[in-house]
Structure 1
Amino acid sequence: MTFQELKPKVTEIILKANLSRDEKLLNICQLLSDSITYYNWVGFYFANHDTKTLHLGPYVGAETDHTIIPFGKGICGQVAESNTNFVVPDVAAQDNYIACSFTVKSEIVVPLFVDGKNIGQIDIDSHVIDPFTEEDERFLEFVCVEIAKLY
C-alpha cells in the first residue's frame, strides 16, 4: 500500500470516537506494520520533560527492554533533544545507538509536536539496511500531525 493510500486510513483511525487514544495509537502501529514491509517495529515514546526521559507507549513488534530512555541516549533520546527527524540507514555505523535486537538494521524517528512542544515520537525499526526515504519522513510527519489532534 502506498503512503497516499495509507493517509486516509490513518485519519480514519484518529476520528474513531469509540477508541481510546492508546487504542488509536496501537491501531496506527498495526496499520503501518502490516502495510509497509520494511516497518518491522512501530511504536511511540512519550516525553516526561521533568525527568528528561522517554516512556514507551503503544507499539507493535518484538518486545523491548527499552521502556524508559533518557534524553540524549540512543536515536530516540537524541530526537527528544534535537526536535528533528533522525534517519539511521545502518545502526551498526551509529555510535549512540541502543541495540534492541540483532535483527534491527536501520531506524527512523520522527518527533511528535503538540502546540510547538515535542511530546514524543514515532519510532520505526527495520530489518533492512537503508530502506527509509524522504517519502517515509514526509508520511511519518503527516502521521504525527494527525496524532497531535488527539492531544
Structure 2
Amino acid sequence: MASLPYLAGYSAELQQRVQALLDTGRLGDWLAQRYPESAHPVQTDRALYDYVEALRQRYLRNTSPLSKVLYDNRLDPVQHTLGTNTFVARVQGGKLKSKNEIRVASLFRDAPEDFLRMLVVHELAHLKEKDHNKAFYQLCCHMEPDYHQREFDLRVWLTWQRQGG
C-alpha cells in the first residue's frame, strides 16, 4: 500500500485494517482511545535531557554519559528519521574525548509520552548495540516491555499525522 509508508514492513492484513480506519475517519479515535493522554511534561530540551538521563541511569548505568540531548526540528519523519544517536570521538592533546548525543524529532513534543519513551529507549539501546540485531531488540524490550506494540502504534500515529490528523 503506497499510502502507508510507515507500515510497509507489516502484514497486508494489518495494513488493510489501518487503511480501513483511516478511510472511515476513525483512526484518530482509535489512537485517542489507546493513548488518552495527549500531552506530556517533557517539553524543553532540559526536561528531555533529564528524562533520557533518568532512563539511562536506571537501565544502562555503565554506559558513558550523554553530552547532549535535545529536540531537533530538522529531523524529518518523512525521511524515517525520528531520532538520532551520535557518537563522536576526537583526540584532544594526548587524550581521546568521546561524546554521545541523542536528538529527537520535535514532533514528539506533541506525541503521547509512550511514543517518546519508545523512541528514547530505542536511541539509548544504541549506546550498547549499534546495529538493529536480536540483542538490540532484547535490550529495548528490557527497558520497555511493550516496545514492539509501541513501535507499531507509533507508526500508525505517524500515518495518521501524515494524513492530516
TM-score normalised to structure 2 length: 0.29
TM-score, length of structure 1 as denominator length? 0.31
Q: Which protein is richer in strand relative to its size? A: 1
Give the greater-gyration-radius structure (CA).
Answer: 2
